[in-house]
Structure 1
């Protein structure tokens, strides 16, 4: 694997805008087992137990330390290690609402484009005054092309700007390493999800530099399917992001590795991804496909990926019969377990789910976009909502998936 020989400098900079980082908490790469040496864990791993030492979290300070361990684990076994942003220089140029973003690292440079759509002036001004802030919030969306107009309109009508870019200009959606990210980091063992997330962060850098109409204290990321996986990664690696909206994201996103519900159809498994879309992750994830217990040896699961977003806000949307993304696992298993983490941190209102029912309940249904707006407005504007974003119906709860919730440490 290309990145196993990372320098200590790269280890120290584990994610963007680090909060309360302590290098003594982050395990060294030398301490990380091979996938075949990791223990089988049949239920969701306990987020309050350190994976390498088996020590239990005892306090909020311990949780920050545990978070650092998790950041190393998810980079080692899934995402690849995020580039050291302190070595990058970001220059942005604006023509109207179009942004040209150039990133320089040492002797290398790479450029890609983005554009920003603003809400109608009356809506934007009203929302800004109502929330007591200057500028409007923004949601950065990931995809091969722009969001379809109906989906963009949902945000604009809520008073939220939308920033868009073509992922293929940053990292081609294939094993072929073409695009701005690979121009800089072509020798790295990093998944394309991480490359796309990196682009969202550089777009945010550009907005901070030259788009004063946007309030960069209120930033969301959104994507559906593989781009939903990316939205989750983007929120994990940059704490400037205040709201994550991964839609229909499946495995590597909100779909759990350990719980598949296939009574009505197939669900995406680790071998499906590593065989067909291995470039989404680093190559270390591929090794789990070749060991007994494969996905049950992954030392984390989707609820812990969600937990890395806390205490910031996250909501995900699933289609009731979008079987390939394992909706029952994402809704009944991951939401319940993630809610325990958010509740323990005192921010239970910052995690939510939305279930699309028939007839618009298949993959990436467009009704998700207007349906999630009450949660978006709550996070960005403090607008109260009567919508129950904890409603998991028609699926049953599965507390047996997270037995550790019965014995939580005191926060």
Structure 2
């Protein structure tokens, strides 16, 4: 049986289905919400390598949203001026397999063509296999468990000489006058192969773990495919030289100074690898608003390994090394410098893989296809002296911004941070139902009035609406309990000396720095390592292959006594009257450490981040996990009321004679919460939030609450009931196993209890070591009858299926 894919959801082009300005001739268009390129383009000569972080109109890229639009713009420019437009997915793709031969039939407008990729399965491993797609053949060694898929790119678009333009299966489908170059047609073929693999389980290929390679001309094609097909996890161009990993401008400079190097003019005269339009610019490459460092940038942040040969001058070793060293700056700005590697080693056999490059090849294949995230893929090397002759100052006159975490512009100290659009996402200025003795409903938006003044009840009915409600909950916590969370400051950097990480922060001509201690695991594993940020220190047992970062949050915001409000380095930066409570400042500090890690030369992963703390610091860890979505796992230890415990339940416990801490008790002694919250401490039923909603903000990321049932002042029933209620949000999202609670009595406050190690290890395995099959369905207390929590007393709402 041949499964059929109708309009596959992913296409090779990030531009989607482009409108035609001339009948039958497609054009490259921008992403929705991004600025349009002018028509026609007014080009200006630039002898240096164009700035990846400046839009065509001169506007600077300052955050991840900007980069997404700039990436789209770069894609359009390559399509318009060098490679030709890649069409959107065709009407249908059908596939079948017979032995090792795939038959992929692509249909459009009453026409059909069929390509026949060949699969070579590995002799060991288990299906479905990761796969390396190969243009034309390869001498790369086969890693264990990896299939090789050979795609005959020549039949898709011929490239014998200039007479080959418009010849091949692609042009049979789209017409001989289609503007796509041969390499862009090859990319289209890769996309159709992936469409087929996604819909043909019998091929036994894991379409989420695909790489592509090629050597020489095919290496150029592999780089183009990696740039425009985002379903490729890893791209490995080999010895692609100028027109591939080499930059046009540098090659032209080498040629003009007497080096025997291929230039754009040579390639344009020789073949159809590039578009007809590019022929007009081949002799004046300085006018192009891009160069091939930006082609590499289109691959980011996915894996990219450049394997190059410094033996042959015509490949332009200085052009390749300098171009790719410059392209890597985009990976650095995104916080993924180790996802791009360059290895340039001389050897005499062109397109024969040299053993000297096996280590980096194996590391990249392990990380991006085998899922071994701890592999060391930091490689930027050449065996040619002085960076192969590349002098960066001659080519780069721009700076690299830090785009990690999609920083948004700083906000005024007492204004909420930017929020998603849509009225329901924004918390109402005034609440129409100010009192609720039960735990507020996560699945109903905060009530607002209609035009007549009557309250409106709006239910959450979908995942999209939940995330809007989540945004609203975050605003409510800032307004009523924690104070405003500041956006990422204008400047954040990290410096490492020994075990000390210094976090430097600048904002509006003020600067502060604070320090954290980085402890690497004692292991032979080369890293990089996932890491846990511990507020105030940690008694967690040693976790293999896990780094630990500790810092003193009270350096940023003091919390010992009510006269501490406004004291600490955070307030030196933003003013002592800033509304942020100590807990919110501590969460802000966790975020700044994550930012700094993205800029510092540390052997840490950029994704595997956890946060933890105990008691007051456990409350801070929960706030950090709720407000920073880069945190994969939040470990909250013995935080009690004001952390994992709900205010309303604690008040009820106190009234019944159980000595639990209440909001009124906490605000008398500390500044953990905002001054606004002090007004509500004796009337918590008027709050539109409680701490089941704080835990719900962590969803769907990992959350493990480790609690101690031995101390009544922690509010044992308050914590268990509060978190049991919060877990309903995880249930509604279909991921209840991502939140766990373990409540075990022991006499040493904030000393990790060995009985809770299985659940700790399971959550770390799942969320920081990415062992997705790990069993994390833990929800338990050693106190009878759900620690005295009676759900019907506190929950009067039903659970939707989102």
Check whether TM > 0.5: yes
In the TM superposition, residue 251 of structure 1 has moved relative to its aligned partner by 2.3
Given that 1:374 and 1:385 are in contact with CA atoms closer than 8 Å, whether structure 2 keeps it comes out as: yes
More helix by share: 1
Where structure 1 has 5 or more consecutive residues not aligned to the other structure, the ranges are: 15-20, 126-133
The answer on 1:241 being equivalent to 2:241 is no
Tell which structure's C-alpha radius of gyration is larger: 2
Q: Which residue of 2 aligns with 1:22?
A: 32
TM-score (norm 1): 0.83
- Quick one: distance in 1 between partners of 2:376 and 2:231? 27
Q: Show the 5 A alignment for 1:9-408.
A: 10-11=26-27, 21-22=31-32, 24-27=34-37, 30-33=39-42, 38-51=43-56, 53-85=57-89, 87-121=90-124, 124-125=125-126, 135-143=128-136, 146-147=137-138, 151=139, 154-155=141-142, 157-174=143-160, 175-176=163-164, 177-185=166-174, 186-212=176-202, 213-260=204-251, 261=254, 265-277=259-271, 279-289=272-282, 294-331=284-321, 333-357=322-346, 360-367=347-354, 370=358, 372-383=361-372, 384-385=374-375, 389-397=379-387, 398-406=391-399, 408=401
Q: Which residue of 1 aligns with 2:636?
A: none
Q: Do the aligned partners of residues 403 and 217 (structure 1) sit closer, same or farther apart at CA in structure 2, a change above 3 Å counting?
A: same
What do the CA deviations read for 1:342-381 (whole angstroms, capped 9, x no partner)? 0110111100011223xx2453232277452222122222
Q: Do the aligned partners of residues 95 and 343 (structure 1) sit closer, same or farther apart at CA in structure 2, a change above 3 Å counting?
A: same
How many pairs does the alignment contain? 372
3-state SS in 2 of match to 1:396: helix
In the TM superposition, residue 394 of structure 1 has moved relative to its aligned partner by 2.3
Given that 1:90 and 1:101 are in contact with CA atoms closer than 8 Å, whether structure 2 keeps it comes out as: yes
- Quick one: distance in 2 between partners of 1:307 and 1:31? 25
Higher RCO (CA < 8 A, seq sep 6+): 1
Where structure 2 has 5 or more consecutive residues not aligned to the other structure, the ranges are: 1-18, 405-802
- Quick one: distance in 1 between partners of 2:94 and 2:400? 49
- Quick one: distance in 1 between partners of 2:350 and 2:20? 36
In the TM superposition, residue 215 of structure 1 has moved relative to its aligned partner by 1.3
TM-score (norm 2): 0.44
Using the TM superposition, name which of 401-410 and 211-220 deviates more. 401-410
Q: Do the aligned partners of residues 309 and 26 (structure 1) sit closer, same or farther apart at CA in structure 2, a change above 3 Å counting?
A: farther
What do the CA deviations read for 1:299-357 (whole angstroms, capped 9, x no partner)? 101111000001111011111122111112211x1222122110110111100011223
RMSD: 2.5
Q: Do the aligned partners of residues 243 and 141 (structure 1) sit closer, same or farther apart at CA in structure 2, a change above 3 Å counting?
A: same
In the TM superposition, residue 201 of structure 1 has moved relative to its aligned partner by 1.4
- Quick one: distance in 1 between partners of 2:400 and 2:28? 32
3-state SS in 1 of match to 2:324: helix
In the TM superposition, residue 269 of structure 1 has moved relative to its aligned partner by 0.5
- Quick one: distance in 2 between partners of 1:387 and 1:219? 18
